[in-house]
Amino acid sequence: MKKNNSKTSPSKKAQNYSPRKIYSYPKYWAECFGTAPFLPMSKTEMEELGWDSCDIIIVTADAYVDHPSFGMAVVGRLLEAQGFRVGIISQPAWDSAEAFKTLGEPNLFFGVTGGNMDSLINRYTADLRLRSEDAYTPNAKPGARPDRSVIVYSQRCREAYYDTPIVLGGIEASLRRIAQYDYWSDKVRRSILIDANADILLFGNAERGLVELAHQLANGRKVRDLWNLRGSAIVKDSLPEDWTEIDSTRIDWPSKIDKIPNPYDFHNNQKNTVQTATDEIKTLRIVPLPLQRKVDLDHEKSYIRLPSFNKVTNDAVLYAHASRVLHQEANPYNAKVLVQKHGTKELWVNPPPIPLETEELDWVFDLPYKRRPHPSYKQARIPAYDMIKTSVNIMRGCFGGCTFCSITEHEGRIIQSRSEESILNEIKKIRDEVPGFTGTISDLGGPTANMYKLNCKSASIQKSCRRLSCVYPTICKHLNTDHSSTTQLYRKARKIKGVKRIAIASGLRYDLALKDHEYIKELVTHHVGGYLKIAPEHSEEKTLSKMMKPSISSYDEFKILFDKYSKEADKEQYLIPYFIAAHPGCDEEDMLNLSLWLKHHKFKPDQVQTFYPSPMALATAMYYSQKNPLEKVRYKGEKLKVCKDIDNRRLQKSFLRYHDEANWPILRKSLLSLGRADLIGNGPQHLIPPSKPKTYRSSRIIKR
């Protein structure tokens, strides 16, 4: 490749990059039509607005609810505020392209999303059974969305209007932006961008990329010209010649070697050519460590080549390696472009978008949402709306990094917080505008209850950090753990006239809360309605380390404070802990120990969950590869214990409900196989009772 002779420090250039404010763009000419009461879902509504066409049409697998907790509403109102005419096609029939012609051909593009949830997670349980309800559909009716909604909708849009650009977004597309293991088909699938035959994919919270894309297309540019748009993925026929390629296997070689070279000590000065279908590795020049500062490697014009789709499909170790590299390249301030070959095509994945600043996030949440479902649903109940209609989202992002969760991969680790004023104003809007408001705000939260305004103390360290979690294995010394902003927010919210109660329903990161006892006291005294959800997930360190969760001792410490402050407030309150069965690295013995912990603490969980391998999660890479991508991935490294058999997964789940009589037969067999017959009996030290003798007759049988 050609050598770039720029003398500017590329790393500083990237870290000091300041994006354009999303509200600062000149308005599109269609601004003259004003704000729609609801974004139109029919030609009739368009005519009432005086529109002859839509500039952008959003196709979504969810019912249209004009509320900032629903993705299609945020995207629609965001684009409307830029001056564009935006229409919504919600849960269309997908057996033909006719439903996708409802609003006519959009002038700029179709935006396709699977909704607030992945369509397959929405439709199937972790045991691959069809769910009986869909919370994002009127009256919870199941079957209103297809499997792999993004792919199906995109293909139908292409059939309807072949030449119209198709933009993918939302969590379903975001978590499938590169080759990914698909639990439902038990295989590695191509990037969803290729399967959907779409033009571009915007991942994460995509406001920045979406606004820029819309204005660029409105100005006559083509999607193919926007290949370097942050937060996007695009398919290319060839790669730019003046860029430097870094082979990902040189960063973290998936084999048994002693030293890991510096990721950026490799310089390819060969002219770029498109790789052949044989995926031959380009020759890279290794620069010795003492000479690395003399090498003119432009970080702004270098990319990491991940193992190809063909390779990760046929080599589970390379899959784990690719997953590891992807997660290491997640900080928007230092991440590099990722390239992955799919056949003869190159998938080009740009660095994540720069997080929104507080005033930008406030602006997004202050858009003219009606905060209600579209009138066409009439009196139909939409359960997901009922859950959030009186809740307020105060922040985005999560720096927990739990391996089984994909929130971090989607929203990022950097917390984006709204201002106090914006949040308090939204509470007042709920009080004044939501029909039937009773005085209770059901939640002030986000992905986590207690990360509001908690960021790195050092902007420079934050921009260079590559940690997967700010709180694991220990809480980073550079992380601000002062919860006073949250405590102050709670106090101000309680004082709003007409508000009787502020509940906190989002999950609490209790190890983080332990850094601020005043916050715990405030929470327990005023914001727990009898029960508080927390998620220790397991009791065993071996399993917790694969989850990137804190030791169970943190839970014990938190419970002491919870009980203390509940007693001081003269309130009878309880913790509701959540646990996961069958997580990679967890075996029957671990689940047995967890069930003994539950019994010792007198917990009898009703709602329990089995590990669900969601796309792109690190734990999913563990599940598929049986390797641990939290460490350097090696072919000869330790093989993780992974529970894939459906019966064994159900067995592990049964340990969480050791008190359920229906589980006793299978648990007896397991205890005997583990050599723990001592736990079968009727005493307080036993886990489950012995089987009933054949002569046993229930006392509930009425004697005749």
Nearest alpha carbon to residue 319 among 578, 623, 695, 531: 623
One-letter amino acid at 322 equals A
User: What confidence score (pLDDT) does residue 184 get?
Assistant: 98
Distance CA 143, CA 533 (A): 30
What does the H/E/C string look like for 33-88? Answer: HCCCCCCCCCHHHHHHCCCCCCCEEEEECCCCEECCCCHHHHHHHHHHHCCCCEEE
In the prediction, which pLDDT does 282 show? 41
Mean pLDDT along residues 657-675: 97
DSSP at 12: H
What average pLDDT score do residues 107-129 get? 98
Interatomic CA distance for residues 277 and 646, integer angstroms: 37
Q: At what angle do helices 646-656 and 588-600 cross, to 10 degrees?
A: 20
| pLDDT at position 271 over 60 | no
Give the DSSP per-residue string, 261-282.
Answer: PPTT-EE--SPP-PPPTT-PPP
Residue 143 has pLDDT above 70, yes or no: yes
Q: What is the pLDDT of residue 606?
A: 83
Q: Map out the domains of the chain as residue ranges.
A: 22-233, 390-527
Q: Which of 281, 257, 260 is nearest to 270 (CA)?
A: 281
Closest of 548, 264, 563, 257 to residue 399, by C-alpha = 548
Task: Return the bridge partners of 416, or none.
Answer: 396
pLDDT of residue 12: 57
Instruction: Classify 320 as helix, strand or coil.
Output: helix
Predicted confidence (pLDDT) at residue 614 exceeds the cutoff of 90: yes
Q: Which CATH architecture has domain 390-527?
A: 2-Layer Sandwich (3.30)
Considering only 165-179, 239-253, 505-519, 542-556, which range has the smallest mean pLDDT? 239-253
DSSP letter string, 604-658: --SS-EE----TT-HHHHHHHHSS-TTS---TTSPPPP---SHHHHHHHHHHHTT
Average pLDDT of the residues of the chain = 91
Rounded mean pLDDT, 366-381: 97
pLDDT-wise least confident of 368-372, 488-492, 530-534: 530-534
Is the pLDDT reported for residue 585 higher than 90?
yes
State mean pLDDT over 592-610.
Answer: 94
The reported pLDDT for the residue numbered 450 is 97
Least confident range from 336-345, 512-521, 567-576, 632-641: namely: 632-641
Going by pLDDT thresholds of 50, 70 and 90, the confidence category of residue 15 is low
| pLDDT higher than threshold 50 for residue 286 | no
| 442 and 391 Cβ atoms separated by less than 8 Å | yes
Instruction: Look at residue 283 in the predicted model and tell me its pLDDT.
Output: 37
What value does the mean pLDDT take over residues 257-281?
A: 38
| pLDDT tops 80 at residue 627 | yes
> How many other CB atoms sit within 10 Å of the CB of residue 157?
29
Token duo for residue 528: 């727990």
**What pLDDT does residue 488 have?**
99
Q: What is the pLDDT of residue 298?
A: 79
As beta bridge partners, residue 111 has: 58, 167
The terminus-to-terminus CA distance of the chain in angstroms comes to 93
Quick one: pLDDT at residue 5?
A: 37
**Which pLDDT band holds residue 578 (cuts at 50, 70, 90)?**
very high
Q: What average pLDDT does this structure show over 319-342? A: 96
445-503 per-position pLDDT tens digit: 999 999 999 999 999 999 999 999 999 999 999 999 999 999 999 999 999 999 999 99
pLDDT digits (tens, 9 = 90+) for 272-282: 333 434 444 34
Looking at residue 489, its pLDDT comes to 99
The amino acid that residue 492 corresponds to is: K
**Least confidently predicted of 217-231, 249-263, 291-305, 654-668:** 249-263
In Å, how far from its chain's centre is CA 409? 5
Please name the residue ranges forming H helices in 309-369: 309-314, 316-328, 358-365
Classify 235 as helix, strand or coil. strand
75, 81, 83, 86 alpha-carbon torsion, rounded to 10°: 30
- Token couple for 115: 């909704």
Position 246, amino acid: I
* Rounded CA separation 600/589 (Å): 16
Q: How much is the pLDDT for 555?
A: 97
Which phi and psi (to 5°) does residue 479 adopt?
Answer: -85, 130
- Give residue 573's pLDDT: 96
Angle at 327 between CA 326 and CA 331, to 5 degrees: 105
* β-pair partners for 305: 247, 339
**Residue of 345, 346, 355 lying closest to 243 (CA atoms):** 346
> pLDDT, tens digit, for every residue of 400-429?
999 999 998 999 999 999 999 999 999 999
Token reading at 345: 């095509």
DSSP 524-574: HHHS-SSEEEEEEE-S-HHHHHHHT---HHHHHHHHHHHHHHHHHTT---E
pLDDT for residue 253: 61
Domain topology for 22-233? Rossmann fold (3.40.50)
* Contact residues for 372 (Cβ-Cβ < 8 A; gap 6+): 65, 66, 67, 385, 389, 434, 435
State mean pLDDT over 239-259. 73
Q: 692 pLDDT exceeds 60?
A: yes
Residue 284 in this model has a pLDDT that exceeds 50: no
CB-CB contact of 534 with 575 (8 Å): yes
91-111 pLDDT, tens digit per residue, is 999 999 999 999 999 999 999
Distance, in Å, from the CA atom of 304 to the CA atom of 536, rounded to the nearest integer, reads: 36
Tell me the percentage of the chain whose pLDDT exceeds 90: 85
For residue 347, give both structure tokens.
Answer: 């998938």
For residue 538, report the phi and psi dihedrals to the nearest 5 degrees: -165, 170
Residue 193 CB neighbours (<10 A): 30
> Above 50 in pLDDT, residue 396?
yes
- What pLDDT shows up at residue 365? 98
The CA–CA distances, whole Å, from 463 to 42, 292, 354, 355, 414 equal 46, 21, 11, 12, 10
**676: helix, coil or strand?**
coil
What's the one-letter identity of residue 152?
Answer: V
The residue ranking higher by pLDDT, 159 or 18, is: 159
Asked whether residue 254 carries a pLDDT value surpassing 90, the answer given is no
Residue 638: pLDDT band by 50, 70, 90 thresholds?
confident
